[in-house]
Amino acid sequence: MLFKQNKSQTKIQKKSSINQSVLSIENIKTQLNHSDDIMERELHSYKNHSYIILYLSPLVDQDILESKIIKPLIKMENNDIQNEVHNEEIIRTNSNEEVIKRLLEGYCLILEKSGKKEGFLLKALAAYDREVTEPSIEQTIQGANVGFVESIDKNIFLLRQNTRTPKLTVKSYTFGTVTTTDVRIVYVEGLANPEVIKKLEKRLKYFNVDSIRSPGDITDSIEDHTFTPFPQLLLTERPDRASANLKDGKVVLLIDGSPVAIVLPATFMSFFSTPDDYITRWELGSFFRFLRLFSYMNALLLPSLYVAVVSFHYEMIPLELVYSLQTSISYVPFPPVIELLILQLSLELLREASIRLPPSVATTFGIVGAVVVGTAMVEAGIVSFGALIIVSITAVSSFVQPNIEMRSSIRVLGFPLMIYAAIFGFTGIWVGLLTIFIHLSRIRSFGEPYFVPFAPLKVRDFKDTIVRVPSWMRNKTHAFKKVKKSRKWKLDESEEPY
């Protein structure tokens, strides 16, 4: 294992409660609390040496144990485990602490019975990983059908396969004082911003917990700003997307047991791109980019604009529309904002219910919930059709946003905006919007401005954010230094003018 060597460098080494006593079977068993899954076997080799093998049976692959450890051990000619037993990793140790740690990682301990106070640790970890499958949330039309899995080694394998360079660097960390979890930082040396790596390492140094329960534990403590609706770390379950980000100079954080990679630093606009944008032709990719941005604003502003127009500024919309809206609204006993809140709430209920239900029922449920209840509500005069249309468009627009966390920011910001609009009309909306703008221009992600091509305004960077220009027209970043020349060939090779 290449990366285990770095472990000695980690700063997170805690003072262990385990005392450095003599290495013996009894000691180890005591420290593992005589748990029932500790297996102990005594072996006699061909040359009549006796050994004791100790391991935690659920963690160890019986096949590996039989064929790669026990068999060679019995057949051993000389008493030389290091050379005669062929295993991917053999560690020679006399420290109790090391033995305990390795046993929990799926190693087995071989002790000579003759009383030498030295044992050998051999790796026999059972791999119960699931197969690499298609990602369930971030689906693409034409992209690769590979998603991250729960095993951190397999994830790094996926990243290395997509990013084939000697500069790819993996740094290994172990967190948790009670239960431990492996965390790895992956980046391409030379492309990634050293400042970002330094910041990340510093923040991880402060991260000191008993145990990591979920990736949220770690993202909460390394994010720049916690009290903001905007996510500053991009979570992806696609290796191709993670490695594309690596090539753009981003840093990827992997946590053992979680099938998502955390990409950082993430700017506002990075949540609006999908891998499909770069696979389809640029016109289509740009259109979808633009559509996503538009739909985000739509989902954020449409309800509050509706409330403001209907309750204060009905002179803004054409007269014919005022009449038809008026006839519908006049039967409704609530003010427009309450109407919208009722509808939004029922929509949230539908959404939550359809996630919990099995897919076969969810479709039927959707039809009943959305169509039947929606129509009935309008006909019963509880809500007006205008409000129903607005909420439906808002919901559809919010589903266009590819990232779940960015989508939730719409909800967090949309409700206050709506209430502002209900109290102050347009003034409320612009006050709310300006607050959001000030906030967006203040927050940063690992030192990089969050709202970047807009604030600070960089028109040149619009090329790969709002629109997706053809790859050879992109700005010269590290990864695309030579790409301009890729269109230097001539369209028409023949010399004749006509």
Partner 1 sequence: MKVKSRISSFELFFVLVHTMVGVGLLSLPYRTNIAAGNDGWISVLITGIMIQLIVLIIWFLCRKFPNLTLYDFSQVILGKTPGSVVNLLYILYTLIVVSYVFVIFLETLKRWILPETPAWILFLMGGFLLIYGGTSTIKQMVALFSFLFLFILLLCFIKVLVFHDSPKDIRYLLPIGSNGAWTILKSTSSTFVSFLGFETLLIYYAFMKQPKKLSAMKGAFLAVLFVILVYLFIVISSTILLSPDEINHTPEPVLYILSASGMTLISRFDLIFLAIMSLIVVTTIISYTFSASIGISKLIHVKHKTSVILFGVFVLAVSAAFYYLELAIPGQWINLLIIIFGLIIPIILLFITIIFKREESSIHEKN
Which residues here bind partner 1, judged by CB under 8 A?
A: 312-313, 315-319, 424-427, 429-431, 433-435, 437-438, 441-442, 449, 451, 454-457
Cα separation, 342 vs 225, in Å, equals: 32
C-beta separation of 172 from 184 below 8 A: yes
State the minimum distance, in angstroms, from the CB of residue 392 to partner 1: 20
Give the CA distances from residue 384 to residues 62, 347, 391, 409, in Å, rounded to whole numbers and listed in that order: 67, 15, 11, 27
State the minimum distance, in angstroms, from the CB of residue 422 to partner 1: 13
Cα separation, 479 vs 470, in Å, equals: 15
Provide the 8-state DSSP code for 16. Answer: P
Which lies closer to partner 1 via its Cβ, residue 119 or residue 449?
449
The CB-side HSE value for 83 (13 A sphere, CA atoms) comes to 4
Strands 181-188 and 251-255: antiparallel
Which lies closer to partner 1 via its Cβ, residue 52 or residue 455?
455
Which lies closer to partner 1 via its Cβ, residue 433 or residue 479?
433
CB pairs under 8 A, 24+ apart, for 390-396?
390/302, 390/303, 390/306, 390/340, 391/303, 391/340, 391/343, 391/344, 391/347, 393/298, 393/302, 394/298, 394/299, 394/302, 394/303, 394/344, 395/299, 395/347, 396/295
Which lies closer to partner 1 via its Cβ, residue 349 or residue 438?
438
CB-CB neighbours of 432 under 10 Å: 22
For tokens 């790669």, name the residue.
68
State the minimum distance, in angstroms, from the CB of residue 290 to partner 1: 15
Count helices and strands in the chain by DSSP H and E runs: 18, 12
Q: Looking at this protein, which amino acid is placed at residue 357? A: L
Tell me the β-bridge partners of 110. 53, 120
Which lies closer to partner 1 via its Cβ, residue 402 or residue 453?
453
For tokens 């960089």, name the residue.
458
- What the block records as the tokens of 412 is 């967090």
Cα separation, 7 vs 259, in Å, equals: 23
Which lies closer to partner 1 via its Cβ, residue 107 or residue 451?
451
Cα separation, 316 vs 37, in Å, equals: 74
State the minimum distance, in angstroms, from the CB of residue 428 to partner 1: 8
State the minimum distance, in angstroms, from the CB of residue 421 to partner 1: 11
State the minimum distance, in angstroms, from the CB of residue 448 to partner 1: 12
The CB-side HSE value for 3 (13 A sphere, CA atoms) comes to 16
Which lies closer to partner 1 via its Cβ, residue 137 or residue 438?
438
Sign of CA dihedral 101, 108, 213, 226: positive
